[in-house]
Amino acid sequence: MVAPPVLTRMPLWSLGLVAVALLTHRFDGAADLFVYDREGIAAGELWRLLTGHLVHFSTAHLVNNLVVLVPALWLVETRYTKDAGLLLLVAAPAVGIAVFAGAPEIQTFGGASGISLAFLTYACLRGLHENRRWRMVCGVLLSIVCAKLAAEIFWGWGLLDWEANGFVPVALSHFVGTATGIALYVWRVAGERIFHFKCSRFSNSPSRTWSS
């Protein structure tokens, strides 16, 4: 499997998502409108399940998320051009719904860490099919993601204490984001293999001559 050249087109998803996140962080009114708010969602403000990922509670929170999101989203968008929008549209609601259903104690939630891990996981899994050097990089990154998730889920451990910066990492959002990246990868790879299998069977089938 060979990916297309890295700079195949302008990364519009990447630029747009970063721009909206920066604007939301700059204007308090936008953050109030977009943030995941459990009471608001229960009252019918369902857009908050999606837009909460754009809201960050401090500059450190924003930078911490963008450091992962920007390169991961850029990789997916420029190397696997059909998948960036799809992954975003699946991961964003999946994380929001998971937090709403699985963490009723969380009243306010924000941040793009869940969707960042979705893009990072997907990009690295696809990278395992490429050249040896890139496979090694992707393997290391996937190992780090797995270790991070295990530490958060089983031991409640975080790399840093972010509470002083206005937020607390939510392991559930990280797990669901990672799982979404894996699910899209499996769906894509399985679909490609089925397509190639059918094409090979068709090309190897004996030719027929039809007459009337």
Contact status, residue 162 vs residue 61, Cβ threshold 8 Å: yes
- For all residues of the chain together, what is the average pLDDT? 84
Question: Residue for token digits 């530490």?
Answer: 151
Reply yes or no on whether the pLDDT at 28 is more than 90: no
pLDDT at 157: 67
More confident residue, 138 or 167: 138
How is residue 28 annotated by DSSP? H
pLDDT at 212: 35
Please report, for the chain, the start and end positions of each structural domain, with discontinuous segments joined by +. 12-202
How far does Cα 107 stand from its chain's mean position? 23
More confident residue, 42 or 11: 42
Mean pLDDT of 147-159: 80
What sign does the dihedral 189-79-182-24 (CA atoms) show?
A: negative
How is residue 81 annotated by DSSP? T
Mean pLDDT of 13-40: 90
208 — pLDDT class (breaks 50, 70, 90): very low
Mean pLDDT of 117-135: 93
pLDDT digits (tens, 9 = 90+) for 67-94: 999 999 999 988 887 889 899 999 999 9
d(CA 84, CA 86): 5
Just give the CATH number of 12-202: 1.20.1540.10
Distances in Å between the Cα of 78 and the Cα atoms of 4, 8, 14, 32, 74 are 8, 6, 10, 32, 6
pLDDT at 81: 77
101 — pLDDT class (breaks 50, 70, 90): very high
Contact status, residue 121 vs residue 178, Cβ threshold 8 Å: yes
pLDDT at 80: 84
